[in-house]
Amino acid sequence: MRKWLNNYFVFSRNAFNGVLVLIFLIGLMSVVPAVYDKFVPPPMMTAEERRAVLQLLASDTIKGPKRIALIDIRTLPKPEQSVAELFNFDPNVIDLAQWVRLGLSEKQAMGILNYRNKGGRFYKPEDLGKMYTINKKLYLRLLPYVRITKDSSFRDRYPEHISKQHQKVKKPEVLKLVELNLADTLELDRLRGIGAVFARRIAGYRDRLGGFYDKEQLLEVFGIDSAKYIQISGQITIDPRLVRKINVNTAQYEDLKRHPYLRYKQINALIQYRKQHGNYQDLNDLRKVLLLSEETLIKLSPYFSF
């Protein structure tokens, strides 16, 4: 290199050595930042800072470029998950940090907050199990600690979700209530918030059940969440006396197979036990069929006769 440089420039030995050192330093300065970024991680956001930002995202109050900048934190390394802490809670009230304390990930907690922000509500502890972000194991661990408060504070807590359509209900008007066990699809279609698709689903599920005995069974219809249930429930009545009964002492597989609360193995066990031990006298006899859980029996009891 020195011979090549001497063809164009005149260098002393010291000057030439100085040029080499300068070239080395320039190269080193261009490489160091890349190496530093690769081996030295950026300062990690604390759990509290991260949850505060996610809480802002869940509230939907930040929009535009600021929101995009906040969303970028999802690409940062997450702080270590703290040990789950169990305590009594109302799923309609607690914030993201409290969900995380209960053992949920930030993503799971965000899903629940978004559900609430869209008008969703938990009416009973078991509603928590309907959240797709919560698996069965976590649901069973949290269930004993769920405490649902009265509905009276719902409008104060979520005033932005009371739409104009809901405001109209306040006006003096006589609403014609529809008996859910007698209405056809045309009558159901005329109810606010239902439409033709949900009318068919409700009628179809009612036929499989044998009728509704409780309004909250509407939450079992595919696509009906808590927000839609709020919209529908005030427009309907239910007469449990209209429920179609099944005599468990004469029913065969064909009579039971379409019922949504029963599976093939349960139906078979029910029939086989009856053949071996005789007719059922009451609900306590049905408890002897091991495949029928207490929860299933409670749901089925309005449909069974002896």
Q: At how many degrees (to 10) do helices 106-117 and 47-59 cross?
A: 20
Residue 246's H or E segment, with its range, is: strand 246-247
Task: Note the pLDDT tens digit of each residue in 230-258.
Answer: 999 999 999 999 999 999 999 999 999 99
CA distance 143 to 302: 25
pTM of the complete model beyond 0.75: no
Q: What percent of the chain has pLDDT above 70?
A: 70
Tokens read off for 167 = 């405001």
Per-residue confidence band for 38, with pLDDT thresholds at 50, 70 and 90: low
Task: Note the pLDDT tens digit of each residue in 164-186.
Answer: 445 555 554 556 899 999 999 99
The residue ranges of every structural domain in the chain are 2-39, 47-150, 162-241, 246-305
Superfamily of domain 162-241 in the CATH hierarchy: AF1531-like domain (1.10.150.280)
CA distance 305 to 283: 9
